[in-house]
Amino acid sequence: MLAVSVQGYTNEDPNFRAGMKEQLQVLETWWCDPDLGERSFTREEVPDLQQRRHVEAFLDSSGLRDAPADDAILFFVSGHGEASPAGSHFLMLPETDPQRLLATAYRTSDLIAAALDSKAKHVLVIVNTCYSRGVNIGLAQLVHDLNQNRSGSPTLAVLAATDIGTTVGVRELSALLAQVHKQLITSAELTSEYLTFVEFLEQLHDASEATGYRSPHPLLGMNGSRTPHFCLPNPGYRPTTQLVAPQRSQVAATEEDLRYWVSRASGRPNRADPGWYFSGRQPLTRVLASFLDVGPPSGFAPSLIVTGTAGSGKSAVIARAVTLSDAGFRADPAYVGAVRDSPPDTVPPVGSIDVAILARQRTAEHVIAAFLDGLGQEAPELEPSADPLTGMRGHLLKALRELASSGRTTTFVVDGLDEADDPHLLVSQVVAPLAQAGQAALRLVIGVRSHLTSAAPDAPNTGESVQDIALLDHVRQALTLATDTSRTQLPPMELRTDGPETASDVQEYLQSLLDDIPDAADVARRIAARIPGVSFLDARIAGGQLREHETPADLLADPLWWDSLGLGLIGMLRRDLRELSTPQLTSETALALLRAAAFAQGAGIPWGPIWPTLAEAVLDHPLPDSESAIVALRASRLVGYLAQDTEDGRIVHRLAHERLAEVLRTDPHLLNTSSREPQW
């Protein structure tokens, strides 16, 4: 990092010198932060520049013009600026004669040229002087003088702090950069190690909205490229462990969940017990593992539907199989013991799942694109008049035929089918054609909730009203295969997660959660009996409330808590809202933030500035300190109602279960915390 900070002008304002010092501190806080590790910049010393010859000497001694290709150069130029009669921008020096700019000042574009015409592939120049946008006059010619590879590079960027005819506020850019830094470590939640120049400009725009200062002007690098810029390290980046290969990561278990169960298992008297996650629900996990190993029994199509009511653990059963089938996960030292000690007939073979996707909010085209990507296939180039869905599906079927010709069986997993953008279209236009064309060479595992939905537009005529056909029935029909015998059909296998044994599964799950609580078995039995229906989601929340309470015995003696369990998810969420005790987060604000997340499309809602804006729309009034409210929400028990995902390079937030999102969208009045009595 080179920071040219010209000072020592005649009649220099003390505030100017203080502002220049503040600029350097902001730059060092971001770019020279040791926590950036190898991405951290080293600030090179810049001598006192009083005369033009001092600038020339600095450029020669710094080696800026000869910087190698693997250098990343942040070149910050600040001081007084002036425009010549022709409009050219000059950096004024303490001994500059205003009447002789060519001889005694320094043309700013020539200063910039030293960095841009080096061999460094990543250069960011920031000019913070009066009239700095005037640099563009000389810069336009300079860019044409660069060799062709550099003139079009997306990682050569120039930013001007002020417009033509506008003087500089020496502290304005410092405030903007400090605000961007704050956003990046809090609300931006960008997942990449480096920002693109476009992302940097977007963050500057948000900072401008927050501070009221004008955003700088990009002069070079605005080609819309999403190439990471090595001069823009993301201070909010946190490396994540990739438990499984990308083509299975959407459906696999999270690292947080797995480490939780492994850590709890490690404290058990019997060290060979891998914990509930790895050893629970064996009748279900055994069937799924067998299907992934040898396929279906005689008389069934090579498809398996995993279904059950909301909260019955469908996704957890599928996620376990997807995770355990991944070769990278199986080789991870952190989990190899748990896998080894799991019941062998519940562990699917390595590599038995090729692609696993979560259908939530996805269109049929998105699902096919994910399958193609998971198989290492590029999306086809289609004629403008071609139907995209038909063309992409044909390309996928061709790829599957090629795999089948080599004797290979391919396995696809689709979870959350009922949460797709158009579930029935996904079934009729993707699931059914794959099942019918793939025959024995393709195995499908479909996770779908068993409840009635809207009409199935392409459902076969069964004599019943189309309005009465359930999505689950539509899936069954799509996966049923005809045989050579015209009257014989092969139905898909079906695995229900809400069968008679589920109540004892929930109790066993609760006991595992509460094994630090005295009389855990009895407490688990009482809670399981109190929760309406059979819901692992309700059990997890109830167990979390008890485990995290300062005195669990007091909570167990509280009849109002038991009443809240009897109301299920609504009662428990209402209680958690009522228990909020922080001034930064009222129950009204917390409910608005949760409702905003419930209305989010796609993978979820990003934090800033979209989440606060949507919450304000829900509340119908502004949030005085939305950032503190979201920070408090994420530090509270309410974070257990949220799940995280990534979309378009950002962390996004959604409700942990669609049933919870449905309540927040349609029945928020049931969560009214003003009364301590059950409400319906």
Three-class DSSP labels, 634-673: HHCHHHHHEEEEEECCEEEEEECCHHHHHHHHHCHHHHCC
Question: Do the domain assignments include residue 608?
Answer: no
55: CATH: 3.40.50.1460
Among the listed residues 642, 598, 646, the one whose alpha carbon sits nearest the alpha carbon of residue 250: 646
**169 and 261 together in one domain:** no
Beta bridge partners of 303: 444
Answer yes or no: is pLDDT of 263 > 90. Answer: no
CA distances from 295 to 298, 304, 409, 480, 520 (A): 9, 9, 10, 15, 39
Question: Do the domain assignments include residue 415?
Answer: yes
Tens of pLDDT along 14-37?
A: 889 899 999 999 999 999 999 999
**215 and 250 together in one domain:** no
Question: Do the domain assignments include residue 143?
Answer: yes
**169 and 300 together in one domain:** no
Q: Rounded mean pLDDT of 625-653? A: 89
| Domain stops at, among 169, 204, 220 | 220
| Domain stops at, among 473, 496, 519 | 496
Question: Do the domain assignments include residue 657?
Answer: no
**CA 323 to CA 258: how far, in whole Å?**
10
103 three-class SS: helix
**333 and 258 together in one domain:** yes
**94 and 164 together in one domain:** yes
pTM reported for the whole predicted model:
0.81
375 three-class SS: coil
Specify the pairing of strand 605-606 against strand 106-107.
unpaired
**275 and 330 together in one domain:** yes
- Residue 239: φ, ψ to 5°: -60, 140
Tens of pLDDT along 369-422?
A: 999 999 999 888 888 888 999 999 999 999 999 999 998 999 999 999 999 999
Question: Do the domain assignments include residue 241?
Answer: no
pLDDT band at 597; cut points 50, 70, 90: very high
**206 and 272 together in one domain:** no
**192 and 267 together in one domain:** no
Q: How much is the mean pLDDT over the chain?
A: 88
Q: Which residue has the higher pLDDT, 393 or 270?
A: 393
How many CB atoms are closer than 10 A to CB 287?
A: 19
**257 and 179 together in one domain:** no
**285 and 337 together in one domain:** yes
pLDDT band at 151; cut points 50, 70, 90: confident
pLDDT band at 469; cut points 50, 70, 90: very low
- Residue 448 is which amino acid? V
391: CATH: 3.40.50.300
Question: Do the domain assignments include residue 509?
Answer: no
The total number of structural domains that make up the chain: 2
Answer yes or no: is pLDDT of 3 > 80. Answer: yes
Helix (H) or strand (E) holding 128, with range, is strand 122-128
Question: Do the domain assignments include residue 660?
Answer: no
Q: Which residue has the higher pLDDT, 119 or 262?
A: 119
Answer yes or no: is pLDDT of 574 > 70. Answer: yes
Question: Do the domain assignments include residue 456?
Answer: yes
509 three-class SS: helix
pLDDT score recorded for residue 152: 82
Helices (H), ranges, 375-414: 388-405
| Domain stops at, among 496, 517, 541 | 496
* Cα-Cα-Cα-Cα dihedral sign, residues 521, 522, 526, 529: positive
Tens of pLDDT along 168-218?
A: 788 999 999 999 999 999 999 999 999 999 999 999 999 999 999 999 999
**7 and 110 together in one domain:** yes
**CA 259 to CA 432: how far, in whole Å?**
37
Answer yes or no: is pLDDT of 493 > 70. Answer: yes
pLDDT score recorded for residue 679: 41
**446 and 304 together in one domain:** yes
Quote the domain boundaries for residue 425: 246-496
435 three-class SS: helix
